[in-house]
Amino acid sequence: MSDKLGVVILAAGQGTRMRSKLPKVLHKLAGRSLLGRVIDTAKRLDPACIVVVHGHGGETVRQAFADDATLTWVEQAKQLGTGHAVRQAMPALTGMDRVLVLYGDVPLVSEETLARLIEARDDSALALLTVDLEDPHGYGRIVRDDNDDVMAIVEQKDANPLQLSIREINTGILIASFGPLKGWLEQLGNDNAQGEYYLTDIVELAVRTGVHVHAAQPEDPLEVMGVNDRVQLAELERHHQRIKAERLMRAGVTLRDPARFDVRGELSCGVDVEIDVNVLCEGRVELGDGVRIGANCVIRDSRIGDGVEILPNSIIEGAEIGAESRIGPFARLRPEARLADHVHVGNFVEIKKSDVASASKINHLSYIGDTTIGTRVNIGAGTITCNYDGANKHRTEIGDDVFVGSDTQLVAPVKVGNGATIGAGSTITRDTPADALTLCRATEQRTVKGWKRPVKKK
């Protein structure tokens, strides 16, 4: 028995209240666009097809998902109502057995809630996702009869005073059997307060043909809240972040202040991770056991080993950090910075596309780019790898047990042999031999006796 699920996502709305040049559904919540989130959730239900209804000028929206070949796009040139929007999508849903209607601006609906709705439909041709709200103003109300059976949905603007007092509202999300849905949509009229083809009117049509309309509720009312303006967007963002933070804390992560911690992407943590205030994790971030992250750090697409300590105000992107290393404060690790175990990186040090072997230290004010550093190396304060000649990048190779004196420039391509020492203040342009001191200074040190400091002119 085939039971093909088709999903239609309505996203034709203008979103004027966002006051934005960007279409509403492309605004981001926790780093992912609203529509992207709905699509992700829809995909987890394993549907046979996903149809997105976009509005006039929806090209920007389409383009944002250009590399996703699984989506079908349907234009609804004029917004004549939610019923009209679904009707436009029906030809693209041909062959489906069930149709689930979602909204591009309702980003937090969970897979679990949708699974419950799908289950609620069961043997009926129609099931709705409803929720009880303290303040139901603005929403369509769920009208039930004396047996508590759903009879109709009445829009705010069409409701009588008695209906307005109903607190169970229509979230808009529903699932219906394809054939009956098609029939109901064809019968919709627009003789109502807004002159629109209401999707909600299919409920009455269904009831009239003897369909028993089921209803399911979400775990959390905020799951079904839509985004109309930036205030609501921020509310949902905070809600979403709080849930993520709670999940982490329950899994053994200490958050000094869950309200000052944000995840925009996927974060996995070992046990006994401690995160101080104002930390942002973006993309895919993996933190090993016992990792400690100081205040004001940004960590993006990085893997951080067991026992690592990141001191405050460090920015880490596309990096790998081995166990027991210590980074910061004020360190910047850029893409392809790969540090082994027990590495120390201190303040105002920038590392890019470089491998640093275990127990090496770069503690102060340095730039290390396109470099390989061996084990137990000490890079003195102010050391710069001059990796770029204005046209091409070149590599610096530093062996094991090297000591680089402060304020050294290593002009790449250049190699420093194992055990070499570089005298402070050197500009190294040629390979330096192992186990020897190499230094290069413009002049011998001299002293001018009786020299007077300049004084201010009167």
Binding site for ligand UD1 (CB under 6 A): 10-13, 53, 76, 79-82, 84-85, 103-105, 139-140, 153, 155, 169-172, 198-200, 226
User: Which one, 166 or 249, has the nearer CB to ligand UD1?
Assistant: 166
User: What's the Cα-to-Cα distance from 147 to each of 151, 153, 442, rounded to whole Å?
Assistant: 10, 16, 96
User: Which one, 12 or 263, has the nearer CB to ligand UD1?
Assistant: 12
CB of 160 vs ligand UD1, minimal distance in Å: 16
∠ CA 144-147-150 to the nearest 5 degrees? 30
CB of 130 vs ligand UD1, minimal distance in Å: 9
User: Which one, 200 or 296, has the nearer CB to ligand UD1?
Assistant: 200
- Each as own residue / partner, the long-range contacts of residues 130-133 (CB below 8 Å, 24 or more positions apart, any chain) are 130/168, 130/169, 130/170, 130/171, 130/215, 130/216, 130/217, 131/168, 131/169, 131/171, 131/217, 131/218, 131/221, 131/224, 132/167, 132/168, 132/169, 132/217, 132/221, 133/167, 133/169, 133/221
| Strand 414-416 to 396-398 pairing | parallel
Locate all alpha helices (DSSP H) within 170-229, ordered by sequence: 178-187, 202-208
DSSP-assigned states of every residue in 285-340: EEE-TT-EE-TT-EEEEEEE-TT-EE-SS-EEES-EE-TT-EE-SS-EE-TTEEE-
CB of 68 vs ligand UD1, minimal distance in Å: 19
User: Which one, 57 or 335, has the nearer CB to ligand UD1?
Assistant: 57
Q: For residue 413, which of 436, 432, 430 has the smallest C-alpha distance?
A: 430
CA-to-CA distance for 71 and 52, rounded, in angstroms?
Answer: 7
CB of 175 vs ligand UD1, minimal distance in Å: 15
Structure tokens belonging to residue 379? 């890079």
CA-to-CA distance for 128 and 104, rounded, in angstroms?
Answer: 17
Which amino acid would we find at residue 49?
A: C
CB of 123 vs ligand UD1, minimal distance in Å: 25
CB of 34 vs ligand UD1, minimal distance in Å: 10
CB of 80 vs ligand UD1, minimal distance in Å: 5
**For the chain, what percentages of helix, strand and coil (3-state, to nearest 5) are there?**
20, 35, 45
Cβ atoms of 365 and 384 closer than 8 Å: no
CB of 152 vs ligand UD1, minimal distance in Å: 11
Contacts of 106 (CB under 8 A, 6+ apart): 38, 171, 172, 173, 224, 225, 226, 227
User: Which one, 76 or 296, has the nearer CB to ligand UD1?
Assistant: 76
User: Which one, 113 or 200, has the nearer CB to ligand UD1?
Assistant: 200
Checking phi first, is residue 448 left (phi over 0); if not, alpha (psi -120 to 50) or beta? Answer: beta
User: Which one, 199 or 253, has the nearer CB to ligand UD1?
Assistant: 199
Residue 214 parent element (H or E): strand 214-216
Catalytic residue among 56, 137, 212, 364: 364
Cβ atoms of 324 and 305 closer than 8 Å: yes
Q: Is 364 a catalytic residue?
A: yes
Residue with tokens 């829009």: 155
CA-to-CA distance for 337 and 327, rounded, in angstroms?
Answer: 12
CB of 73 vs ligand UD1, minimal distance in Å: 13
Cβ atoms of 285 and 264 closer than 8 Å: no
Cβ atoms of 120 and 112 closer than 8 Å: no
User: Which one, 170 or 217, has the nearer CB to ligand UD1?
Assistant: 170
Which are the catalytic amino acids? 364
